[in-house]
Structure 1
Amino acid sequence: MEQITAKEVVELLNEGKTLNIIDVREVDEVTNGKIPTALHIPLGLLEFKIQDLDKSKEYIMVCRSGARSGRATQLLEGQGFKVINMTGGMLAWEGKTE
């Protein structure tokens, strides 16, 4: 499983890179703030939303600490997607939130 740190994601966003970020936390967790460009799909709904994702894109998976996003990464990799898990999750996030 490919991984990226929260700091590396912040740096890429600050450089103006367009990233496809999926936040797999629950609704109540996201109300406390999420990465501005992130698409919110709770982990339990991810398998039902796979058809809405584009296999030509690379996705960065995010959760609170990195465990659920790791499961999401494995799920999407198994379906042929290019996916990276953000280690440390939002607990390690020091960038902007919305």
Structure 2
Amino acid sequence: MFGIREIDSHQLEQALRAGAQLIDVRTDAEHAQAKIEGSTHIPLHLLPLKLQDLKGSQPIVFYCRSGARSAQACAWVMSQGLDNVYNLAGGIMGWARDGKALAA
């Protein structure tokens, strides 16, 4: 998507070590199956209600199953004035494909 910055799983690991906030925008059912350790679960439809929780100086990385919904989240959050946001390319599937650990 135009204007959406993406990072891969290796860049995400570095960003998390540097204090980035990781947001899982998947459904409750998807989140219950597996997640990336250290992520905060905010389903996409609830994002407008939680915007105030995202304000801060640290980068925010959104993820979903494949990257499409998290790209929507990035676009919406950017439209609300936050610009230090990133989309995890490939979503949690890409993360797992790269051999990264998942939490239950």
User: Please, what is the CA RMSD of the aligned residues?
Assistant: 1.6
Identity across the alignment (%): 35
Tell me the amino acid that sits aligned with residue 64 of structure 2: C
Report the counterpart of residue 42 of structure 2 in structure 1: 41
Say whether residues 1:4 and 2:26 are aligned partners: no
Could you state the TM-score of these two structures normalised by the residue count of structure 2? 0.83
Moved over 2 A (4+): 16-19
- Secondary structure of the 2:77 match is helix
Separation (CA, whole Å) in 2 of partners of 1:13 and 1:21: 9
Question: What's the counterpart of residue 63 of structure 1?
Answer: 64
Query: Are the aligned partners of 2:24 and 2:64 in contact in 1 as well (CA < 8 Å)?
Result: yes
Q: Find 1:86's aligned residue among 81, 85, 88.
A: 88
CA 13–77 in structure 1, closer or farther in 2 if over 3 Å, else same? closer
Aligned length: 96
Superposed displacement of residue 7, structure 1: 3.2
TM (norm. structure 1) is 0.88
| Unmatched runs of 5 consecutive residues or more in structure 1 | none
Question: How far apart in 2 are the matches of 1:13 and 1:56?
Answer: 13
Give, as a single letter, the amino acid of the residue that structure 2 aligns with 1:84.
Y
Q: Is the 8 A contact 2:60 2:85 kept in 1?
A: yes
> Contact 1:5–1:87 (CA<8 Å) still a contact in 2?
yes
Determine the C-alpha separation between the residues in 1 that align with 2:9 and 2:33.
17
Higher strand share: 1
Give structure 2 stretches of 5+ with no counterpart: none
- Asked whether the 8 Å contact 1:55–1:80 carries over to 2, the reply is no
